Chain A
Amino acid sequence: GENVEQHPSTLSVQEGDSAVIKCTYSDSASNYFPWYKQELGKRPQLIIDIRSNVGEKKDQRIAVTLNKTAKHFSLHITETQPEDSAVYFCAASMGSGGSNYKLTFGKGTLLTVNP
């Protein structure tokens, strides 16, 4: 089955700096890659996603890049703010006929933004 590796497990940055979280996946058939943010005691929140027919997607301070050949994708957060502090999860999905029901998650990255 699919396996998703996520690095680093913890990341500490100063407010205003950029943060990068990287994930690799094992199954070349995976075609959907969402990122979730989970604050302590709260639900995972979808922050951005990318499909395999796109190499990069940006939404304000957040961007995701996908390299299908190398089977890795990355989350980039610019101008970090203390409220960005949370655990971030990457995930990959391989669905038949375009379905993406089975998300395989990485183990998460605890991001701390120091004021």
Chain B
Amino acid sequence: DAGVTQSPTHLIKTRGQQVTLRCSPISGHKSVSWYQQVLGQGPQFIFQYYEKEERGRGNFPDRFSARQFPNYSSELNVNALLLGDSALYLCASSFSNQGEQFFGPGTRLTVL
């Protein structure tokens, strides 16, 4: 079975640009969560989607948005990029709201 997949693996953008990151959960998993991991820190919760609805939002500005599609894949969008948005963006999937979360390999975003 394939694990959680994310694309792209690496991305370089300049300040002010917009970026879209993609995540495909483990087959059968209905919940997707997004985390931001700055170098040397633990992941920070951004969003959770379950059954295509937003179920939780972390302490991130409105420049961050996400959605989940009927096939349970998800996109994270970040507008008006800042240098401080440079980080590893991780997606995690779980079968339900109560399940263990399994992480994808992440997308490394660099903002210049």
Question: Which residues, 66 to 112 on B, are CB-close (under 8 Å) to A?
Answer: 90, 94, 97-106
Max chain B C-beta neighbours (<10 A), residue from A46, A49, A106? A46
Total CB contacts across the A-B interface at under 8 A: 68
For residue A43, give the distance in angstroms from its CB to the closest CB of chain B: 4
**B105 x A43 contact (CB < 8 A):** yes
**B43 x A100 contact (CB < 8 A):** no
With beta carbons under 8 angstroms apart, the residue of A46, A97, A105 that contacts B43 is A105
Tally chain A residues at the interface, Cβ within 8 Å.
26
16 residue pairs bridging A and B, Cβ less than 8 Å apart: A6-B42, A34-B100, A44-B90, A44-B103, A45-B103, A46-B102, A46-B103, A95-B97, A98-B98, A100-B101, A101-B33, A101-B50, A102-B48, A103-B35, A105-B44, A108-B40
| CB-CB nearest 5 A-B residue pairs | A105-B42, A99-B97, A101-B48, A43-B103, A44-B103
Report which A residues bind B (CB closer than 8 A): 1, 4, 6, 34, 36, 42-46, 49, 89, 91, 95, 97-108
